[in-house]
A and B are shown apart, each in its own frame.
Chain A
């Protein structure tokens, strides 16, 4: 069984309780288990041949239970952050010496040295640039991959690829796959939450969709301002009015069930009733989640909620919410970046210095704060934190002071559960243009993430369109060197 006591057993009397309807609305919710009902919606669309069973059990003992995916929309430059290239500085301004592949804008300039200095940090001596002074203090917690590649040098294709393992629209997002494979541990929150800091990446909401998996697994967007979740706010003038209404609904539904023959025919109706219980519970769980009043002043300032830069404060809130979601058993949390106009995300086609400085200022302290907070609460061991963009940036300039997209070699890091901290894996050439050692694909990242969560990526399948589909398609090799 899953080594976790956050799940609770299913009451044997659920069916009777539903059919009697006598307890009124909400009573059943106390004993209902979201994932169970979500899966039972309709027998005809269950997937009996799929390798994952209806009551999901991991394939091996998991190292991590949750994922926090820090999505660096637009693509962070590796040679300005985690992959120092002194040769770039030496040849700054000279014509670029390697053969240049076609780029997105085809407006290639000369070799561009990094405006930032690198220093070594921690016992591991991991080099980090001055862009990320706070994350640098967590150097010994990071497993850095410097040899990631993507198949797409254009945002949308690369975004879909990073999120779904395919460059085209319509495949399930990794969060959906994880939910499908492991179920949810939260009884009143969805299993896959996207904390929208302000930027929905190119490709739109399909980056977070369930694709051909049941809609149950689709990412729920939580906004940082206004109503956090769609339709979470009751429109009745008081909670009592809604409660009375739902009590009536429960009685009428019980009447409908009583008129049935008691067989399997009404399974779907039972599931739909239970689904209301979950929705009702969510109505109170979400505001409770979003309310940070109970967090101490020290915690708040650790994350940067009191930082002078307003974008830092936005991302600090996101990171703190990520921790709170993980505490509540939400499987997969993805954070999108705050909007920092006139920068277009991390997509520094011009004025690299300003773009990366401002973006880094927004996310650096909150991320470091979150890593430390998770660690001090003992949560980092069971949470996998991943920091990645969809690709990197070119070592040569776009125009005079920007960098174009570079899918041929870029850096990302992982931290937390099951990760070999303080390691560096793979290498790019001396310009940071292409991978020369330990070449990884996005599929390898996915395979490794699933592995850490206890899932064999080759066995995590869903039959659709005549194939047992996988997040990793027919690819994916574990990046064993970064596993603890």
Chain B
């Protein structure tokens, strides 16, 4: 402090005597400095309590340098100066001082001062010196320091298990870590839970369903030392395992089957992702591989294939697209920023346990994450496009290749036949030569073709070159056209094949887009700032049908979006665009050209014409070239293809007679065509070209800072090797590699902690989605590192092995009742059971409660996979986008994971029991306690229906005495027989109900109404929905 005062004094001395009496300076001192001091310094000076907008107005340098949004003044130009704009109060978004407008005279003075070049008085430089020192004070974000000081960034350390006194209790090193802490705190672990409690616990934890009474009995009677291991291994191998653990992942991926917002449009085929996740957990796909598929499954060199050859990996990329989406944002750029923010947020929380999105507007307030880090990830988002991809691409392509082969045979056969008949037919020919999109004669000033390289997806847009032809018709007319596409065609191999064709991303720098295309049952979309839900009113014009047998122009008015980035998408596939109309199967597109244009009308194609008096030699040589597959290589290939086309149109190539050879080739073509499977679409990522993104100052996409290269976070080594990404791609594969790098200190820790959380009800780090400074500290840091290291280096990222190791511990097997004598002291020293001196009593999750009901009632249908079961609509589920029909009350008895997740029409029962609203990563569900839960179990028709089914089931064997019936019911719901007291209460209840319902005493043992009441009562006991 003393030092800076000295410097200040020196500087003042050094400027003393400089032009103090100039009129400008006098004006400044008399009129301007008082205004600044009174109205501005509070927020814009070295002495400000809190500097606003990084703007200093206490020095001339500060004024000229400006703040976050640029210079405060332009010398001599008040009308261009933000400061003058601000004090003028004309722009409601920029009004300074914020509380009260300055007087007209003050404004006039400031304006005059800027006009005269902003003279400054004494102390100018002094203030500047103070400014410099303050800047470092204000800007306290120090990434390296934060990284060094917070535990989560430190490498995972290999941990040896600590020594313990009680050597009999631990079954594994995990137990030693737990026990050492208990012993240090003078606590003892609880005894092992009894076998009935244990098997019910492990069933729900691993598969989310109760054990059957027979399974309980087997376990209770199994005297083998590995009895529990056998149960655990059976559960890990069960297909039900993926249905339970897949749901945990879906909570992280904010999985939903609609986009929410106003109309709740479907995300078509979202359920394939749900099925993929279930399969992946059942197959125990290594976790690093699983994450790689989420991030970049579409660009893997070797995607993982299902047994029938389908692409599994690409399904993972749907992960990015489950966010809420909007159908008509007025500001599409802001919309993109919000969409990407959600993606970055979900990515950071789910995989890294970090709140990266907090750095959207400013450097993270607490963690070692800079705004630059955030926009480094934004670049990856920009280069990634939403698509629907066929998972059965391989079998489709296989069929398409066979079609290609048949077409070659057809071409030879047809050419041979035509050549034989040619002489008698040919007369003079007037030829219209095809226009070339690059043809300077066609383009006008102000027409600019879109960049040349395009992204094709799907088997439809195959290679296309002059001489390619459309197959159709009968053996007399096997070839119906020789299109000469300039850029692409999707109907050449077969109109049954389909796909997308997309341009590079371009900046809309002209008011119109002119697209020339032919086609049928196809459409084009102009996707601006990755906004795909193209809808009326504003965006309707950006989606156009393509319906013209010959190339025609489509003009799209882009005036509203000039300056924005966009890509053009052509599609003939049978999957609807988001929020779009249904799409038929047989579409095709012949795409000629696309131009950005200053002109509202398309260019007139001035095609050259050519008159050929004796075209025969040319037709013949072209046919020969065509027959031999050489036509495309000839120097005038397009002209020759046009000649063949014209000859075909004129009927010169008509074959006079039935040709059994050609007919059989055609038959084969159509047979293969019919055998090609329909595409099985899944929402997925497609790579586009991409730019790195600018930093958005204060998160505002309109105020751009410097560009940041794509990379992972600085604190995770992202700065060490700046990413260039794959050529032309978004670089996501590289991102995936860094996320799953064994040296990444977060990925494995976050996952083992999630598993721990699901098995104990509390993570070692309780804030499972946030390992940052505002998250909770690990209760057992050494154990966390032990598990993370083992997960990566010994268990090869196997989730099943990790789970197995944890549930086989003595820690997991503890009873919920503390060891004798421990409870009282622990209630004081460890009231929340952080140290795990006993098991936690846990409420079942929503899905398990519903599945349990279906299980005891016998209604459970274990069919796996497929489209979600339609939501059952109650009168309380209202709003736009409400489905036309209500689904079945009992969801067809399917497990809860197979119920359709419609964002705006969530299942009220699941919602009441805390199934998360799918808007963001939710690794730790709430466990709330609301009257709606009790009201559902007491009065909901679904619950009543299941209770009645359960009663029917219990009554199926009429010969059983009531005690035996009750015992069976207890065993199926609670994995134990009733106590004597409970039997007494229940029998009394049966009598009481019998009397109230006027059921004769001898009928009560088999009366459905009474037993429905019994079943319903059992459903409402807390033991039904809690795990001990």
**Chain A interface (Cβ within 8 Å of chain B)?**
34, 37-38, 40-45, 102-107, 149, 152-157, 167-170, 190, 196, 200-206, 209, 211, 214-216, 218, 220-221, 223, 226-227, 229-238, 240-242, 244-246, 248-249, 251-253, 255-256, 260-266, 268-269, 271-273, 275-276, 278-280, 282-283, 434-436, 439, 463, 465-468
How many angstroms from the CA of A155 to the CA of B262 in the assembled complex?
8
- Whether the Cβ atoms of A269 and B1026 lie closer than 8 Å is yes
Q: B911 contacts which chain A residues (CB < 8 A)?
A: 215
- Whether the Cβ atoms of A215 and B1017 lie closer than 8 Å is no
Closest-by-CB residue of A relative to B335 is: A157
- Whether the Cβ atoms of A209 and B355 lie closer than 8 Å is no
With A169-B919, A204-B264, A244-B996 given, can you name 7 additional A-B contacts, CB distance below 8 Å?
A: A103-B330, A205-B877, A220-B932, A237-B997, A268-B842, A279-B938, A434-B92
Q: Mark B338-364, 1 if CB is under 8 A from A, else 0.
A: 100010010001000011001000000
How far, in Å, is B1017 (CB) from chain A's closest CB? 5
Partner of B537, one of A105, A169, A202, A252: A105
Binds A, one of B219-227, B456-464, B651-659, B761-769: B761-769
Q: Considering residues B770, B842, B877, B1017, which has the most beta carbons from chain A within 10 angstroms of its beta carbon?
A: B1017
Partner of A255, one of B826, B904, B982: B982
Closest-by-CB residue of B relative to A40 is: B929
| A223-B876, A272-B843 known; A241+B993 contact, CB < 8 A | yes
Q: Is B808 an interface residue (CB 8 A)?
A: no
How many angstroms from the CA of A263 to the CA of B822 in the assembled complex?
10
How many angstroms from the CA of A223 to the CA of B878 in the assembled complex?
11
**Chain B interface category by residue count:** 35 or more
How many angstroms from the CA of A252 to the CA of B924 in the assembled complex?
30
How many angstroms from the CA of A76 to the CA of B1022 in the assembled complex?
49
How many angstroms from the CA of A463 to the CA of B363 in the assembled complex?
19
Partner of B926, one of A45, A157, A232, A253: A45
| A214-B928, A232-B939 known; A204+B875 contact, CB < 8 A | no
- Whether the Cβ atoms of A206 and B260 lie closer than 8 Å is yes
Q: Mark B864-895, 1 if CB is under 8 A from A, else 0.
A: 00000000001111111100000000000000
Closest-by-CB residue of B relative to A408 is: B92
- Whether the Cβ atoms of B928 and A41 lie closer than 8 Å is yes
Binds A, one of B245-253, B525-533, B796-804, B827-835: B827-835
Partner of A235, one of B762, B944, B992: B944
- Whether the Cβ atoms of B932 and A466 lie closer than 8 Å is no
Closest-by-CB residue of A relative to B979 is: A255
- Whether the Cβ atoms of B938 and A203 lie closer than 8 Å is no
- Whether the Cβ atoms of A168 and B262 lie closer than 8 Å is no
Q: Is B581 an interface residue (CB 8 A)?
A: no
How many angstroms from the CA of A303 to the CA of B270 in the assembled complex?
49
- Whether the Cβ atoms of B934 and A276 lie closer than 8 Å is yes
| A104-B537, A106-B560, A168-B919 known; A248+B934 contact, CB < 8 A | no
Closest-by-CB residue of A relative to B935 is: A231
Partner of B92, one of A220, A263, A266, A439: A439
Would you mind naming 25 contact pairs between A and B with Cβ atoms under 8 Å apart? A37-B929, A42-B927, A44-B766, A44-B832, A44-B927, A102-B330, A104-B328, A153-B330, A154-B328, A154-B330, A170-B917, A204-B880, A215-B932, A230-B876, A230-B935, A241-B997, A242-B938, A244-B993, A260-B817, A264-B831, A272-B1026, A275-B934, A279-B935, A465-B345, A466-B366
Q: Is B718 an interface residue (CB 8 A)?
A: no
- Whether the Cβ atoms of A38 and B930 lie closer than 8 Å is yes
Q: A242 contacts which chain B residues (CB < 8 A)?
A: 938
- Whether the Cβ atoms of A233 and B1016 lie closer than 8 Å is no
How many angstroms from the CA of A269 to the CA of B1022 in the assembled complex?
6
Name the 10 nearest CB pairs between A and B, nearest first.
A170-B919, A466-B355, A41-B929, A279-B934, A261-B817, A42-B927, A204-B904, A204-B879, A231-B935, A200-B879
List residues 758-802 of chain B with CB under 8 A from any CB of chain A. 761-762, 766-767, 769-770, 772, 774-775
Q: B874 contacts which chain A residues (CB < 8 A)?
A: 230
Q: Considering residues A168, A260, A271, A272, which has the most beta carbons from chain B within 10 angstroms of its beta carbon?
A: A168
- Whether the Cβ atoms of A246 and B875 lie closer than 8 Å is no
How far, in Å, is B949 (CB) from chain A's closest CB? 15
Q: Is B1013 an interface residue (CB 8 A)?
A: yes
Q: B826 contacts which chain A residues (CB < 8 A)?
A: 263
Q: Considering residues B92, B905, B1026, which has the most beta carbons from chain A within 10 angstroms of its beta carbon?
A: B92
- Whether the Cβ atoms of A263 and B355 lie closer than 8 Å is no
- Whether the Cβ atoms of B841 and A265 lie closer than 8 Å is yes
How far, in Å, is B373 (CB) from chain A's closest CB? 14
- Whether the Cβ atoms of A435 and B934 lie closer than 8 Å is no
Closest-by-CB residue of A relative to B1021 is: A252
Q: Considering residues B817, B818, B917, which has the most beta carbons from chain A within 10 angstroms of its beta carbon?
A: B917
Q: B996 contacts which chain A residues (CB < 8 A)?
A: 238, 240-241, 244
- Whether the Cβ atoms of A245 and B1016 lie closer than 8 Å is yes
How many angstroms from the CA of A106 to the CA of B561 in the assembled complex?
13
How far, in Å, is A444 (CB) from chain B's closest CB? 12
- Whether the Cβ atoms of A216 and B1022 lie closer than 8 Å is no
- Whether the Cβ atoms of B769 and A465 lie closer than 8 Å is yes
Q: Is B931 an interface residue (CB 8 A)?
A: yes
How far, in Å, is A281 (CB) from chain B's closest CB? 9
How far, in Å, is B563 (CB) from chain A's closest CB? 13
- Whether the Cβ atoms of B1017 and A245 lie closer than 8 Å is yes
- Whether the Cβ atoms of B904 and A205 lie closer than 8 Å is yes
- Whether the Cβ atoms of B931 and A190 lie closer than 8 Å is yes
Q: B538 contacts which chain A residues (CB < 8 A)?
A: 102, 104-106
- Whether the Cβ atoms of B919 and A231 lie closer than 8 Å is no
How many angstroms from the CA of A211 to the CA of B914 in the assembled complex?
11
Q: Is B981 an interface residue (CB 8 A)?
A: yes
Closest-by-CB residue of B relative to A270 is: B1022
- Whether the Cβ atoms of B929 and A209 lie closer than 8 Å is no
Q: B875 contacts which chain A residues (CB < 8 A)?
A: 223, 226-227
List residues 896-927 of chain B with CB under 8 A from any CB of chain A. 903-906, 908, 911-912, 914, 917, 919-921, 924, 926-927
Q: Is B1023 an interface residue (CB 8 A)?
A: yes
Q: A202 contacts which chain B residues (CB < 8 A)?
A: 261-262, 879-880
Partner of A230, one of B330, B932, B1023: B932
How many angstroms from the CA of A260 to the CA of B190 in the assembled complex?
13
Q: Is B35 an interface residue (CB 8 A)?
A: no
How many angstroms from the CA of A276 to the CA of B930 in the assembled complex?
9
- Whether the Cβ atoms of A231 and B938 lie closer than 8 Å is yes
How far, in Å, is A143 (CB) from chain B's closest CB? 20
Partner of B1017, one of A237, A252, A279, A280: A252
- Whether the Cβ atoms of B358 and A466 lie closer than 8 Å is yes
Q: B930 contacts which chain A residues (CB < 8 A)?
A: 38, 215-216, 218, 275
How many angstroms from the CA of A236 to the CA of B947 in the assembled complex?
13
Q: Considering residues A153, A227, A264, A468, which has the most beta carbons from chain B within 10 angstroms of its beta carbon?
A: A264
- Whether the Cβ atoms of A234 and B939 lie closer than 8 Å is yes
Partner of B927, one of A45, A170, A241, A263: A45
How many angstroms from the CA of A420 to the CA of B831 in the assembled complex?
48
How far, in Å, is A385 (CB) from chain B's closest CB? 25
Q: B927 contacts which chain A residues (CB < 8 A)?
A: 41-42, 44-45, 268
Q: A206 contacts which chain B residues (CB < 8 A)?
A: 260, 903-904, 917
- Whether the Cβ atoms of A266 and B929 lie closer than 8 Å is no
Q: Is B286 an interface residue (CB 8 A)?
A: no
How far, in Å, is B361 (CB) from chain A's closest CB? 8
How far, in Å, is A35 (CB) from chain B's closest CB? 11
How far, in Å, is B796 (CB) from chain A's closest CB? 31
- Whether the Cβ atoms of A265 and B1021 lie closer than 8 Å is no
How many angstroms from the CA of A439 to the CA of B91 in the assembled complex?
11
- Whether the Cβ atoms of A215 and B928 lie closer than 8 Å is yes
Q: Is B302 an interface residue (CB 8 A)?
A: no
Q: B841 contacts which chain A residues (CB < 8 A)?
A: 260, 265-266, 268-269
Q: Considering residues A244, A265, A280, which has the most beta carbons from chain B within 10 angstroms of its beta carbon?
A: A265
Closest-by-CB residue of B relative to A209 is: B917
- Whether the Cβ atoms of A215 and B262 lie closer than 8 Å is no
- Whether the Cβ atoms of B366 and A252 lie closer than 8 Å is no
How many angstroms from the CA of A104 to the CA of B329 in the assembled complex?
8
Q: B824 contacts which chain A residues (CB < 8 A)?
A: 263
How many angstroms from the CA of A466 to the CA of B874 in the assembled complex?
36
